[in-house]
């Protein structure tokens, strides 16, 4: 999911901040007698964001040389990973065991396997989407594996691995909904998460839609189930997890935007970037990536070929 500077204004509105910036124009949220999710904001406008015009998916070549960042992780004895706990199929809390599970969780464990010789030597730290970049910049976490799309703006602030999953933004609607694609969204309400470009993409492809901005993807699912929104729009990998939770929902329409996921790291830790890219090279080559895709994301169809890595050096 892509962060955009313009949506910081929306985040400030949602969180009730005291910014001097002009608030977004709000429309009535009283669609049902049930309250909207905490922190939700209904708006008819999101600051426009152009389609990405650069390619930030090229990363550093893999290397087994242990630099200061890798050595510090090995001395500590654990890999600190920023992650989510409420994105079904990618990173979620198992209701029985209480353990974090999912595709992103297993990707992080593969990195720990190569760095520390043990995939369980991971300390997961839960982050919200707005916290991802700052946690890397201040060293709170070593890596972020949290459905984070590689974008030009983000690549100016943090380093990314090569692409580990190609997602595409789509729509999730009830199976009895007349909505088949973006052309059907005029006058409809569409839910997405603050601090992502999913909202901006909807505003671009369906300018006559009303937007519901929420703090967590679970809030979009609940809003859709309660009739407080007509559709949810974000990455198909995230929407698929919602559809698994509620069989009355399904994905519709074409891909609205490409969403190449990368593992985020601090820009100063080049040796860690190269080590992580080494792990991604290994799991593409030895079949681990395909096994993890079939384990978690088979609802999207047969496992594709792993994303081809691109390097800039």
Domains of the chain: 68-166+260-300 (3.40.190.10), 168-257 (3.40.190.10)
Task: Tell me the three state secondary structure of residue 114.
Answer: helix
Helix intervals (H) in 77-169: 103-116, 132-137, 152-155
Q: What is the pLDDT, as a whole number, of residue 293?
A: 98
Residue 38 is given by DSSP the state: T
Whole-angstrom distance, CA of residue 227 vs CA of residue 277: 43
Q: What is the pLDDT, as a whole number, of residue 40?
A: 67
With vertex at residue 150, the alpha carbon angle to CA 203 and CA 242, rounded to the nearest 5 degrees, is 60
pLDDT band at 194 (very low <50, low <70, confident <90, very high): confident
Q: Are 162 and 59 in contact (CB under 8 A)?
A: yes
- Quickly count: other Cβ atoms within 10 Å of residue 32's Cβ: 11
Read off the pLDDT of each residue in 82-108 and give the average, rounded to a whole number.
Answer: 95
pLDDT band at 113 (very low <50, low <70, confident <90, very high): very high
Residue 299 is given by DSSP the state: G
* Closest to 153 measured CA to CA, from 264, 304, 280, 270: 264
Q: What is the pLDDT, as a whole number, of residue 216?
A: 80
71 pLDDT more than 90: yes
Task: Order across the sheet with 189-193: list the strands.
Answer: 41-43, 210-214, 189-193, 231-235, 165-174, 249-261
**Element containing residue 87 per DSSP (H, E):** strand 86-87
Read off the pLDDT of each residue in 37-54 and give the average, rounded to a whole number.
Answer: 63
Read off the pLDDT of each residue in 229-251 and give the average, rounded to a whole number.
Answer: 95
How does the average pLDDT of the chain come out, rounded? 87
Q: What is the tally of helices (H) and strands (E) in the chain?
A: 10, 14
């Amino acid at each position: 999911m892509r962060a955009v500077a313009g949506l910081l204004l929306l985040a400030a509105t949602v969180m009730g901040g005291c910014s001097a910036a002009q608030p977004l124009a709000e429309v009535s949220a009283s669609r049902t007698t049930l309250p909207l999710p905490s922190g939700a904001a209904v708006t008819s406008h999101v600051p426009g964001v152009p389609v990405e015009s650069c390619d930030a998916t090229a990363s550093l070549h893999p290397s087994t040389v242990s630099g200061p960042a890798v050595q510090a992780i090995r001395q500590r004895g654990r890999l600190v990973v920023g992650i989510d706990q409420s994105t079904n199929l990618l990173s979620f809390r198992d209701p029985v065991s209480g353990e974090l599970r999912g595709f992103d969780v297993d990707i992080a464990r593969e990195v720990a396997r190569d760095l520390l010789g043990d995939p369980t030597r991971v300390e997961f730290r839960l982050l919200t989407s707005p916290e991802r970049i700052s946690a890397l910049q201040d060293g709170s976490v070593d890596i972020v594996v949290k459905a984070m799309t590689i974008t030009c703006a983000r690549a100016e602030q943090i380093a990314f691995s090569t692409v580990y999953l190609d997602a595409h933004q789509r729509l999730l609607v009830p199976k009895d909904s007349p909505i088949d694609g973006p052309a059907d969204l005029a006058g409809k309400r569409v839910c997405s998460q603050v601090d992502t470009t999913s909202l901006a993409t909807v505003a671009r492809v369906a300018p006559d839609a009303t937007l519901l901005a929420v703090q967590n993807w679970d809030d979009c699912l609940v809003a859709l189930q309660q009739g407080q929104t007509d559709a949810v729009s974000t990455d198909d990998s995230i929407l698929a997890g919602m559809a698994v939770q509620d069989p009355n929902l399904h994905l519709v329409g074409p891909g609205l935007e490409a969403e190449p996921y990368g593992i985020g790291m601090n820009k100063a830790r080049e040796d860690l970037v190269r080590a992580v890219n080494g792990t991604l090279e290994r799991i593409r080559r030895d079949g681990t990536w395909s096994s993890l895709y079939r384990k978690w994301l088979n609802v999207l169809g047969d496992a594709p070929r792993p994303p081809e890595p691109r390097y800039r050096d």
